[in-house]
Structure 1
Amino acid sequence: MNIHESTEPDTEKKTDSILGIECAVSYDYSLDLGTVVISWIKKSESRYICCANVHMLVIAKESREFRDVITSADLITLDGRPIFWLVFLKNIFYYFLGYSPLNKHRILQFCGRDVMEETIKLASDMSFPIGFYGNRKEVLDSLISKIKADYSKVRINYIFSPPFRPLSPQEDMEIISAINRSNIRILFVSLGCPKQEYWMHDKKNKVQAVMIGVGGAFEVVSNFKPRPPKVVQNLGFEWLFRLLLEPNRLIFRNLYYSPKFVLILLTRFILKSIKYSRSRLHIIKFSVSR
């Protein structure tokens, strides 16, 4: 992520359909994620970023309410190779058909921990105060120690581990007030999907910061959980790496959401192929009749 302090970009958001869900997946080639976040910070805007994976998109497909939460995000990065490959290959397919959905726009591929680490570096270099919301206290303590060791100039103004129960309206208001009083510009949220996305959606225009949902990144960056090797990530097998580490927690997610993702994908491909074939047949019949 490059840093351009003086740039005030026209952040034209480009969307692409992922499983029929319109998601903001890219910005102009001249921009990068850091430039976009800086432009929001300088304007003191309340925004939120989601890192989409298979689990999140299948839930959004099943729930209209959650789909609205996702499509309302200011940016969705592609978390994990399966989603990245889906968008990449789809755009290549359309390119050969004579279409170019994203034109000269790049496809961003950042998983939650990459977004978090790159944004922390940006905040440290530019003295933007940051905060952390979610996960367990012991994870947060380890995370803060690790970040302070890695980034000497980092300013951490807010840290909170919420209780594992619904918050009362009074508690919710107190948390919002505390976050805003801290003057943080970036808030990393680790509540798990879909809870963190609902939380950020509800707090938009209430929390005056850029909120970034990073899922389990707190535990990986703090070294509570091992980081998958780069080759495993690039080959698209991070899900298997995590499943072997936490089978009890992830077995249902992998047995339910992954096959459903493939089924939805195949169904949409077949329907689109039929639709395309019919449209081509109609064009041929029209040409012959003339």
Structure 2
Amino acid sequence: MIDRGKVSVLGVQVDAVDYEAAVARIMTAAEEGRPYAVSALAVHGVMTGVDDPEHITRLNTFDLITPDGQPVRWAMNAIHDTGLPDRVYGPRLTLEVCRAAAAVGVPVFFYGSTQDTLDHLAERLPTLTPGIEIAGMRPSKFATSTEDELDEIAAEIRATGAKICFVGLGCPRQEVFTYENAQRLSMPTLAVGAAFDFHAGLQAEPPAWVQRAGLQWAQRLIANPMRLWRRYLILNPRYVWAAVRQKFGRYSPTTGTEPTHIGYS
């Protein structure tokens, strides 16, 4: 088990952990019934914090942020000598947590995405994680909610008996939701993005060699160039240049400011 605490990646505090440590932390919080905000961040997720003083404050309150992307892990190893042998990828973390939850009878909830995706996920997930107890599912409103409406959503989730909530709203909406609702939910709340689509069988994961090489972004760009070109062709070089500057002590991280309420739901 590797758990070396938080280190700064361009000012975002990312945990130097492996899957075993991440799952252990999440399950302990679930069994104790306490809030625990979790996200798995790739380059895009880190850069959402770099470019937004409010969002970097949100991210740096999270209890656990794992290095979802290989370039994030590489930066952690190069800058902080963390010695991480692998990333902690949101879709795999989702399955590992579900398997651990199934082993001890901890019910889970899925919030976000669409009803069609959730229907496919409910059908397929038990074959991937036998024994999993799905307490409930609720699709995203693809809108914003008031504080009272968020209280109602949280009460609905808690009433199912769930002890862990997975959130799939896309980055950075899911991190905002987790930041604003982990305390309401009083359980581990995991922002895991594309895990819903992958495990529902609606989107294919890249081959293992693509993931190891840190080229998952390239496959996504080729599949959807009009939507993603700005994210990858502009953000990726900016990330690399900033990481090099941080390595040599020439990077000044974004100064955080108090976040305003958004209410993504």
Q: TM-score, normalised by structure 2?
A: 0.87
1:179 aligns with 2:157: yes
Look up the match of 2:225.
Answer: 247
Look up the match of 1:212.
Answer: 190
Q: For 2:37 and 2:249, how far apart are their aligned partners in 1?
A: 33
1:84-163 mapped onto 2 (5 Å cutoff): 84-92=73-81, 109-163=87-141
Q: Which of the residues 82, 90, 100 maps onto 2:71?
A: 82
Q: Do the aligned residues in 2 keep the contact of 1:88 with 1:107 (CA within 8 Å)? A: no
Look up the match of 1:25.
Answer: 16
Q: Do the aligned residues in 1 keep the contact of 2:151 with 2:184 (CA within 8 Å)? A: no
Q: Alpha-carbon deviations, 1:148-188, whole Å to 9, x = none?
A: 23334211112000212212444322111101111211111
Look up the match of 2:259.
Answer: none
Identity %: 24
Look up the match of 2:143.
Answer: 165
Query: Number of paired residues?
Result: 251
Q: How many angstroms does 1:272 deviate by?
A: 4.2
Q: Alpha-carbon deviations, 1:210-261, whole Å to 9, x = none?
A: 1110011111111111110001101111111111122222122112211221
CA RMSD in angstroms comes to: 2.4
Q: How many angstroms does 1:23 deviate by?
A: 2.9
Look up the match of 2:216.
Answer: 238
Corresponding letter in the other structure for 2:64: L
Q: How many angstroms does 1:18 deviate by?
A: 0.7
Q: For 2:22 and 2:109, how far apart are their aligned partners in 1?
A: 19
1:190 aligns with 2:168: yes
Look up the match of 1:68.
Answer: 57
Q: Alpha-carbon deviations, 1:49-85, whole Å to 9, x = none?
A: 1111111111211212111111111111101111111
Q: For 1:237 and 1:73, how far apart are their aligned partners in 2?
A: 27
Q: Alpha-carbon deviations, 1:65-119, whole Å to 9, x = none?
A: 1111111111111011111111112234xxxxxxxxx5xx867721110111111
Segments of 5+ residues of structure 2 without an aligned counterpart are 252-265
Other structure's SS at 1:205 match: helix
Q: For 2:248 and 2:193, how far apart are their aligned partners in 1?
A: 33
Q: Do the aligned residues in 1 keep the contact of 2:105 with 2:133 (CA within 8 Å)? A: yes
Q: Do the aligned residues in 2 keep the contact of 1:25 with 1:107 (CA within 8 Å)? A: no
Deviation larger for 167-176 or 264-273: 264-273
Task: Identify the structure with bigger relative contact order (alpha carbons < 8 Å, sequence gap 6+).
Answer: 2
1:43-62 mapped onto 2 (5 Å cutoff): 43-62=32-51
After the TM superposition, which parts of structure 1 deviate over 6 Å for at least 4 consecutive aligned residues?
A: none
Q: For 1:226 and 1:49, how far apart are their aligned partners in 2?
A: 24
Other structure's SS at 1:37 match: helix
Look up the match of 1:267.
Answer: 245
Task: Choose 1 or 2 for highest CA Rg.
Answer: 1
Look up the match of 1:224.
Answer: 202
Corresponding letter in the other structure for 2:43: V
Q: Do the aligned residues in 2 keep the contact of 1:26 with 1:108 (CA within 8 Å)? A: no
Q: CA 1:68/1:149 → structure 2, altered by over 3 Å: closer, same or farther?
A: same
Q: How many angstroms does 1:271 deviate by?
A: 4.4
Q: TM-score, normalised by structure 1?
A: 0.80
